[in-house]
Amino acid sequence: MSTATYTVVGMTCGHCVNAVTEEVSQLPGVTAVDVDLPSGGLTLTTDAPVEETAVRAAVEEAGYEVA
């Protein structure tokens, strides 16, 4: 189990947090997702390696961007 941290730009409210959490949670290997709205911090807990490109794609799917 390991964690990875990213910064998401473009989130403005709890709805944005939910959208990002939902998309990123669907990635294989992700067991927990924590999003901090004020900082844009996205912390993933994973039990298998998750490619950064996959995380970026999921965040973009939700309508936001990884810094």
Considering only residues 6, 8, 16, 35, which one is a binding residue for Cu ion as defined by CB under 5 A?
Answer: 16
CB 3 within 8 A of CB 45: yes
CB 22 within 8 A of CB 62: yes
Residue 59 beta carbon to Cu ion: minimum distance, rounded to whole angstroms: 14
Question: Letter for the amino acid at 32?
Answer: A
Token pair in block for residue 59: 């965040």
- Taking the least distance from each CB to Cu ion, the nearer of 16 and 50 is 16
Considering only residues 12, 38, 49, 53, which one is a binding residue for Cu ion as defined by CB under 5 A?
Answer: 12
Cα distance between residue 46 and residue 54, in whole Å: 13
Check binding of 38 to Cu ion (CB under 5 A): no
Binding site for Cu ion (CB under 5 A): 12-13, 15-16
